[in-house]
Chain A
Amino acid sequence: MNHRDDNISLDFDLLADGELSEGRRRELLGRLDDHPEDWRRCALAFLEAQDWKREMPRALVEENFSAAEAPVVSAPIAVDAVALPAVVARRPPLGWPGTVLAMAASFLLALGMGIVWRGGWHGGEVAEQPVQRPGAELAQTPRPGDPAPTVPEPAALQFGPDAPQYGKVMLTVLGADGQERLVEVPILTADRYDPELLSGQPAALSQDLVRQLQRAGHEVNQYRELVPVSLEDGRQLVLPVDQVEVRFVNQGYQ
């Protein structure tokens, strides 16, 4: 690359970024008039910037770099079986110091929470799928043609006199469509935080459903985050939240 090429390439990038000063901008446009062949490079710089702006955030999300938006978990509005006080609505940042401090606290582990939200910062191509988790029923009516949701065996649950105490809690979940829905979530009261119990719960989409979608030309990615929520009485409620991205990728027959 020669010096002129390098300079003009820099100027085109600055122009596309809106960072070129008024003087340099005028000078550049004057030079373009003398070298009309450079208009092509100028246009390509804009198109490239537009594409990188669109694709890089997606590349980050697809790589699960987890800089994505916070999931939408709002305050519970009804409580059953376990007397829970009002719950802090917003998800704290993952890895926040409180997560570590919470290790010593009494815990409520939500065993059935699954939330699907739009993946990616710019949305658009991501389809939403209904989620069915063991013991959790979403207030959602199945549509004709929907694949039958799989209800995996709750192998991690124990019953008997020494079994941990189970209960349930109602959470209000704000969907991507902006509508609030009540979700009944089974919970386990525990005296220690066991991430494996939650991360070992079955995924939001069953393997069968994932295979069906993949056969139909979709790419399916599922990610799980364990979201701590502080209760007013000092206990921590930990919710497993699944993100599901379903994207049509088969372009072979277009």
Chain B
Amino acid sequence: MQPPKINRAAKPASPRLRSCCLLILACQMLAAASFAADAPDHFSESRAQALLMAGQAALEDGDLALAQKTLGQAIQLLKINEGLYSPEQLAPIEQLMWAQMRSGFWPQLDTSLGYYYWLLQRIEATTLDAQLDIARNIRSLYLEAAAHPSNPMPPRHLSAALRTNWQTLSYIEAILGAEHPALLPWLYDSLILQFIESRLNERKGLTNYLYKTDGGEFISGWSLSRRETKTTNHSIGVSMLDKIETIRHAMLRAEGSSDSATRLAELDASLALYRGDWESLVGDKSVAETYYAKPDGLAPFKEIPRTRNLLPRPTFETNPAVLKARTAAADISVSNHWSERFPDVSQLLIDTLAKNRVRSSMP
């Protein structure tokens, strides 16, 4: 390729024209520089974090509209910055779902839940603890949705909470084995959820939702009778206590400590107490009395209250001192009721369900 010809015959530009050109060029450069300094970087990581924090703060303050707006923006930014399948989105989506649920925006909540589950299927590198945290959070979300006064279909969300708990149990069994201590809090939570289900005022369609569909459409027709549902509720609670007994006995055998005889006696006494509670709540009062008579052989267990408005006890404990203190704190007559829709369920019970992480680390 030939180099371009230089026009040596052309006249040099006048100094006036040259200075004018230089001035225009400088002005353009200055304008570009000042624009770059003023414009925010919409896609910076710090901006996404700031939006997330602002959304979280708005949610805590009860400004649900602002929370939904800022969290929605944070999710979009994280999608752009971190990728479509990025796990960083999980936290803001969870917060967004809480804001939508508290606002009573049910179709939007369904959309967010759909996206959340879709995302969870694509995130592989995560720990068991993180997955259990997710399950616990979703379960609490469904429970609070079931209690929301404007919810048109509370049984649907209640059955979703129960289903989440069962799925978590199946998952732990598949990963760690059917007799692993990590199952214990979830087993006891199953019992509490059965109690909550038995207290739902509007039971219409509940068994249909449980068995036939997970969707939002109204189902009519075939259903279990109230008596059958009550029997099933009772039977599931008994099975959960049986499983807790099996796992706890296996743990004591494996430990083989010097005070195992005392601990075994305490375990049997507390199990009898919990079985009595369960019979008192959803079963036969005379059977409850029979169970309650058993732990009285151990002096410290005699002092543990058994009044109905203290039940169910929020946690499974075998130490009589701890059991006594926790039971007293659970008095529904002094603590808040959770919801009009679920009589006899205290706020403390729901709060304890939301943070069973502490109990999962117990020996």
A interacts with B: no
Interface residues of A (CB under 8 A from B): none
